[in-house]
Structure 1
Amino acid sequence: MRGLLAASLTALAMFGALAATGVAAPVGPGPADPVIAAVIDRFEPHRASYSLSLDRARSGDVSSASGRLSFEWRDVCDGWSVRQLTRVEVSRGEGPGLDFGWSFDSWEAKDGRAYRFFIDRYDHGSKSETISGRANLEAVGAGGTAQFARPVEREVTLPAGTVFPTWHSYEMIAMAERKQPQMWRTVFDGSAEDDGLTGVSAVMADSEAHPVLPKVGVELLAGLGAHRVHLAYYSMSEDEAAPVHEQEVLIYSNGVADDFVFDYGDFALRARLTDLKALPAPDC
């Protein structure tokens, strides 16, 4: 459940390969980087809805799965406001099924240095947990601190190399446009069990994808470059060598994503766009 939340957010680097070879995680480019600056300039504030369905099951335990995901990425002048609502239902061959979801609200400064988050988790329609707090980085890709207000007040040190979710999305698009084969990042979104931190490996699956455009929002996607990226999400615990889960996503050059596959080993979910609308620019 927690893994699906993290996979859906970032957006959201080649953690496994870098860890295996001993290569240090690079400090990311700042706003002055021309490729990152071009990505930020073309980012499209939008509202998207997705249907979730069972893509494949590797065991007989999962017989069906369905759900929905809505995602809003809004420009609020001083930053990006992101709102995500998700619900998933999984039927099993034996034993009780799963019915879980979450609402996730966040704000991230446009320079990538400040972040606020508020998360509600649900189990069978009832709220099971609330997580909230804020975080700051000394600079993009540098260290910083996070302060959790719920469920327990505490402070967490963010290691060097940390970025927030929207900045990570910028970097993924820039990685594809540079034809860089892989990237590793530590991403803080507040949702993960390891103090809100997740190690993310991004590998180019298709450097220049030519997708069949969805039936919705064609005016926002026609003529844009698109790239398919494979992501693996790792626990920050040194005892966990394998990824918690993996994901493939088709991401367009304006930040809109489609055709996700969330792979959890025993089964995988696929998300496809069912609605896509541009959001108006703010009056700053």
Structure 2
Amino acid sequence: MTPAFHRLTKLLAGLALFAMPLAARPAPAQAMTLAAHRAYYRLTLASTGNSGVTSASGAMEYEVIDGCTGWATQQRLDMTVLDREGGDTHTVSDYATWESKDGRKFRFRITQVTNGARDERAGYAELPPGKPGFAVYTEPHDQRVALPPGTVFPMAQTEAVLTAAHQGKTFVSMPVFDGTTGASAENTFAVITTRGEEVTTAFKPLAELPSLMVHMGYFPKDTTQLLPDTLIAMRYWDNGVADSLDLDFGNFTMAGKLAKFQLLPSHCG
């Protein structure tokens, strides 16, 4: 996958970080129960700078399901970018994950098609208690990588960020493995800029919930690089539903707005 469109799958993974319900651990004080749900976002071009991009548009569908022993997500992004020379890039990305509720096991599959060229990545990862964590890629080729101490999967990062927000903290940093790169975990740094804000919305289940704003940077393992490889900003309600997304591709920025939303029931006893 190209560096720019690696950010497409990172957008999907980033959304999963906060929309997935908390693991089966003690909830932080004052935290809301997070919601399994289905959401549809419209994507529009927010800024271009001097990149040569003249237009960009797309859509993203997202679903999180309570699988009783774990949480399953299915996400699809469809985006077209046009440059000033008349060339267009059409990309469709599908990203599916399953994460155990104890935060120890994770499975993923990514399929991305860009102007007819297809890329796939799949595998699993484990964080066994008292032992080094590891990830195994089964596609596009067999590869095993070690996960550094302190690595978490997206659900555990969700818990950490929301706990920090409810405790009044501003910064959260940890290595996260989500399968969107062909390497080990990425270092992340989250900045919580607002919390407890009530935002006007047309979606009744969200209307009376407080929200928070999070800016998330993903940094490569190369510690000499000071700037993040990917930068995502998202606004979330306390039930984990996001309505405002901003994705910085480096040479242009896309904005996403929640257009359709539906809570999904849990069938677990």
- TM score, norm. by length of structure 1: 0.85
1:281 paired with 2:262, answer no
Contact 1:106 1:118 in 2 (8 A): yes
Structure 1 outlier segments of 4+, above 3 Å: 30-34
Say which of 115, 120, 127 aligns to 1:130.
120
Aligned identity (percent) is 27
Q: Secondary structure at the match of 2:50?
A: coil
Say which of 86, 90, 105 aligns to 1:99.
90
1:68 paired with 2:59, answer yes
1:230 paired with 2:218, answer no
Aligned to 1:256: 241
Contact 2:8 2:93 in 1 (8 A): no
1:166 paired with 2:155, answer yes
1:268 paired with 2:259, answer no
CA RMSD of aligned residues (A): 2.1
Say which of 3, 10, 15 aligns to 1:6.
10
Deviation at 1:95, TM superposition (A): 5.6
Query: Structure 1: how far apart are the matches of 2:84 and 2:218?
Result: 28
1:147 paired with 2:136, answer yes
Query: Structure 1: how far apart are the matches of 2:9 and 2:165?
Result: 24
1:35 paired with 2:28, answer yes
Contact 1:120 1:127 in 2 (8 A): no
Listed as ranges, the gaps of 5+ residues in structure 1 are 13-29
After superposition, what is the alpha-carbon deviation per residue over 1:229-251, rounded to whole angstroms, capped at 9, x for unaligned? 11111112234321112121101
Structure 1's 111 and 60: CA in aligned 2 closer, same or farther, altered over 3 A? closer
Q: Secondary structure at the match of 2:165?
A: helix
After superposition, what is the alpha-carbon deviation per residue over 1:194-240, rounded to whole angstroms, capped at 9, x for unaligned? 33x22211001112333221x3xx23212112001111111122343
Query: Structure 1: how far apart are the matches of 2:81 and 2:173?
Result: 31
After superposition, what is the alpha-carbon deviation per residue over 1:43-99, rounded to whole angstroms, capped at 9, x for unaligned? 110000100000111115011110010110100110000000001111111262221
Deviation at 1:170, TM superposition (A): 2.2
Contact 1:143 1:162 in 2 (8 A): no
Task: Count matched residues.
Answer: 259
- Which stretch of structure 1 is more off in the superposition, 90-99 or 245-254? 90-99
Deviation at 1:169, TM superposition (A): 1.8
After superposition, what is the alpha-carbon deviation per residue over 1:122-158, rounded to whole angstroms, capped at 9, x for unaligned? 112x351111111111259x84111111111121111
Query: Structure 2: how far apart are the matches of 1:76 and 1:166?
Result: 14
1:200 paired with 2:188, answer yes
Q: Secondary structure at the match of 2:145?
A: strand
Query: Structure 1: how far apart are the matches of 2:101 and 2:174?
Result: 18
Deviation at 1:31, TM superposition (A): 5.6
Q: Secondary structure at the match of 1:174?
A: helix
Aligned to 1:16: none
Query: Structure 1: how far apart are the matches of 2:51 and 2:67?
Result: 46
Aligned to 1:85: 76
Q: Secondary structure at the match of 2:41?
A: strand
Deviation at 1:268, TM superposition (A): 0.7
